[in-house]
Structure 1
Amino acid sequence: MSTTQSERLRELLEPLVNSQGLDLEEIAVDSVGRKRVLSVVVDSDSGADLDQIADVSRALSAKLDDTDAMGEGEYTLEVGTPGAERPLKEHRHYVRAVGRLAKFQLTAGKDLVARILQVDDEGLDLEVPGVKGRRPTSRRLAFSEIDKARVQVEFNRKDNEKPDQKEEEA
């Protein structure tokens, strides 16, 4: 896919996605046999539910039908969210991942797995899990030290909710 088409699609679709209360995270056009697939990934600070995905999918489909942005050939539109192991690329992605475990590939060539505790404009405050019965440690990581980062799936995560938090919500 040419960068020009990608930029044109983003310019066309991003305002529509934003008007639905969502962020346009990614656009990709792939060829699958003779058909093309336009994949659009959306998200928000509170996540996106199925109704929001359906609404934005209908709005995007109508907008694309009214333009020649995808050309004359057939294509399939797929709208979804980043998924469980979402990549962290933008500041807002890190903010949304507070409390989550993430794997970081550092610019120094090492990997680090840690829980994101807090995010500011310069970087992250992390909790690095203890190894072999040791206590977790705190670490500060500047954005400039991060090459890539991705949220990790946790199947047996302990509930971090404070006991008095449930009482306040009741």
Structure 2
Amino acid sequence: MSKQELEIKTYVSDLLQERAELFLVDIAFSGTHSRRKILVILDKDSGILIDECGEFSRALGNLIEENNLFGDNAYVLEVSSPGMDRPLLVSRQYKRRIGNTLSFLLNDGTQFDAVLESVSEEGVVVMPAPQKVKKSNKKEAVVDVAIEPRKLRFEEIKKCNLIVSFK
């Protein structure tokens, strides 16, 4: 990790301490030395507003400029919300999704959809969706099989996305 990346992470951390309702979802660096791209993804429990992203971006940009972090080199700073299509990465994101259907990919390769029932510091409890099975020569049918809630530790989850439904 470069000196600039460490400095930016420190700036983000300091700015978040002043804005306790916001939390960091992810920070990514890309580009070349002469043109860096910094992507900061923020959220809050009630959902972050575009104005809050803009205000945070201005504050972070001011710190970068005041400290002449990139000298004469160009950089692009983007502060964004996670968006509906991005994976859930931190436990606070899961809390907002209680009652929603999520798509899980576990570290062991298991994939399934489930309704998020609850969230704790260690992980989540989900209710797997009914399974589709074939009955003889008929088409697939959803069969009511006794499905039990399933506990997952965050360490077991490789990727988790919200399933967006427009029904």
TM-score, normalized by length of structure 2?
A: 0.78
What amino acid sits opposite 2:83 in the alignment?
Answer: G
SS at match of 2:103: strand
> Which protein has the bigger helix share?
1
The aligned residue for residue 134 of structure 1 is 143
> Which protein has the bigger strand share?
2
Contact 1:31–1:37 (Cα < 8 Å) also in 2: yes
Give the 5 Å matches for 1:1-170: 2=1, 4-20=3-19, 21-31=21-31, 35-130=35-130, 131=132, 132-135=141-144, 137-143=147-153, 146-157=156-167
* Closer/same/farther in 2, CA of residues 135 and 68 from structure 1, 3 Å limit: farther
Q: Residues 36-60 of structure 1: CA distance to partner in whole angstroms, max 9, x if unpaired?
A: 2111111111111111111111111
Contact 2:106–2:157 (Cα < 8 Å) also in 1: yes
What fraction of aligned residue pairs are identical, expressed as a percent? 26
SS at match of 2:149: strand
What amino acid sits opposite 2:163 in the alignment?
Answer: V
Q: Residues 122-163 of structure 1: CA distance to partner in whole angstroms, max 9, x if unpaired?
A: 432212222333348332223166231322332335xxxxxx
Q: How many residues align?
A: 156
SS at match of 1:16: helix
How far the C-alpha of 1:78 sits from its partner, in A, is: 0.7
* Closer/same/farther in 2, CA of residues 65 and 57 from structure 1, 3 Å limit: same
How far the C-alpha of 1:80 sits from its partner, in A, is: 0.3
Q: Which blocks of at least 5 consecutive residues in structure 1 are unaligned? A: 158-170
SS at match of 1:113: strand
* Closer/same/farther in 2, CA of residues 73 and 107 from structure 1, 3 Å limit: same
* Distance (whole Å) between structure 2 residues aligned to residue 33 and residue 11 of structure 1: 19
Q: Which blocks of at least 5 consecutive residues in structure 2 are unaligned? A: 133-140
Which has the larger displacement, 101-110 or 136-145?
Answer: 136-145
What amino acid sits opposite 1:151 in the alignment?
Answer: N
* Distance (whole Å) between structure 2 residues aligned to residue 68 and residue 34 of structure 1: 14
Contact 1:129–1:135 (Cα < 8 Å) also in 2: no
* Closer/same/farther in 2, CA of residues 121 and 41 from structure 1, 3 Å limit: closer
* Distance (whole Å) between structure 2 residues aligned to residue 153 and residue 142 of structure 1: 18
* Distance (whole Å) between structure 1 residues aligned to residue 82 and residue 105 of structure 2: 19
* Closer/same/farther in 2, CA of residues 9 and 110 from structure 1, 3 Å limit: same
SS at match of 1:138: coil
TM-score, normalized by length of structure 1?
A: 0.77
How far the C-alpha of 1:111 sits from its partner, in A, is: 0.9
